[in-house]
Amino acid sequence: MSPAISLQSEKKMRDSQSENQYQKGVRHLHENGIKKVPNKYIFPIPDRPNMRKESHIQETNIKLPVIDFAELQGPNRSQVLKSLTNACERYGFFQVVNHGIPTDSISSMTDVCKRFFELPFEERHKYMSTDMKAPVRYGTSFNQNKDGNYCWRDFLKLVCHPVPDVFSLWPSSPEDLRDQAAAYSTQTRNLFLMLMRAILESLGLWNAEMNIAEQNEVLQEFQEGSQMMVANCYPPCPEPELTLGMPPHSDYGFLTLLLQDEVKGLQIQFEEKWLTVDPIPNAFVVNIGNHLEIFSNGKYRSVLHRVLVNQEKTRVIVASLHSLPFERVIQPSPKLINKNNPRRYKDTDFATFLEYVSSCEPKKKAFLESRKLD
């Protein structure tokens, strides 16, 4: 058989996977013993991970700045704030340790999410939706309505605030998912608020000398803000060099608190290279979102990141995305705008973001670029 005929046969075999199969997600494909990555999931050659180059761990790993949350609350706060400022300006990412969230809560949340993805497809399918406004949504890829290439992930998204309003809408299986998610969302929300207070202080927008009313006014919008929890499942992939778990993107909100597992996969773009984040057990990887870049008028920046997949192990990670209330307008803080630092971004809100990603295939930081002023 000639190479050309062989390639044609392989293409036909890949194409024989129906669109309906794709829509069921990669967990379903893995459960059915797929041996080849379907064409729908194969990224263009320039966008694929360079596995050969990235196999050199010493060259491609990055140790993100580590913020000791306990130190942030102590006498060394000013020094930790300097480290936080450097992390937000240079990396757009940092890791938080000694954050006070019990390891039992972390392991329980990770475990219940793993058990959700292990449910029979018929049970997971109850929550499948392409409605990006749905308070509970199970799906695949990034935006399966618009993605030219699907990415190798399934997800469960839960709107989390206020918890009493959405608790009964969350999946009832596994039976402990609702309770675990409620407890975990409250804990991560409290951590977010404490981190935002530190970030506002590092920007010169909050300080301990302000009276209580002034402090509360600054923090109130964040206390009333939105929270979405996303559990991502990356099953083993038969040809990980052809696809990605998530393509290069930036997050829309203020901060994302990411709980990784021990399997590496998260990469950030740093100095024009893709570098793999070294996980720290029970730490949170925190990244700057588009809204914080806009709010800080570009002082703090959101950074492109992506996810690699592997042939051996399923990865399940949990991300908690935080911003202002969905209906609130996001704009640069007037206190950070002056003659030397003119306004750099248009106003935006969550509805504008949804409209954008619903109308086109999201690529890299395209939405944020659309918000920049010339």
Rg (the chain; Cα; Å): 21
Indicate left, alpha or beta for 282 from its phi (over 0: left) and psi (-120 to 50: alpha): left
Angle at 313 between CA 309 and CA 319, to 5 degrees: 65
Q: Residue 311 maps to which CATH number?
A: 2.60.120.330
Provide the residue count of the chain.
374
Structural domain contains residue 11:
no
Structural domain contains residue 12:
no
Structural domain contains residue 6:
no
Structural domain contains residue 111:
yes
Structural domain contains residue 27:
no
Structural domain count of the chain:
1
Give residue-wise pLDDT tens across range 166-204. Answer: 999 999 999 999 999 999 999 999 999 999 999 999 999
Structural domain contains residue 353:
yes
Q: Please measure the distance between the N-terminal and C-terminal CA atoms of the chain and give it in whole angstroms.
A: 57
Residue 299 has pLDDT above 80, yes or no: yes
Give residue-wise pLDDT tens across range 106-141. Answer: 999 999 999 999 999 999 999 988 787 889 999 998
Lowest mean pLDDT among 21-25, 35-39, 146-150: 21-25
Residue 55 has pLDDT above 60, yes or no: no
Sign of CA dihedral 6, 11, 14, 20: negative
Q: How confident is the model at residue 56 (pLDDT cuts 50, 70, 90)?
A: very low
Structural domain contains residue 17:
no
> Is the separation of the CB atoms in 142 and 362 below 8 Å?
yes
Integer Cα distance of 91 and 288 in angstroms: 9
Structural domain contains residue 41:
no
What average pLDDT does this structure show over 66-81?
Answer: 92
Q: What is the DSSP string of 45-59?
A: GGGS--HHHHT-HHH
Q: Across-strand partners of 103?
A: none
Task: Give which of 237, 310, 240 is closest to 35, Cα–Cα.
Answer: 237
Quote helix, strand, coil % in the chain, to nearest 5: 40, 20, 40
Q: How confident is the model at residue 60 (pLDDT cuts 50, 70, 90)?
A: confident
Write out the residue range of the structural domain in which residue 117 sits: 46-371
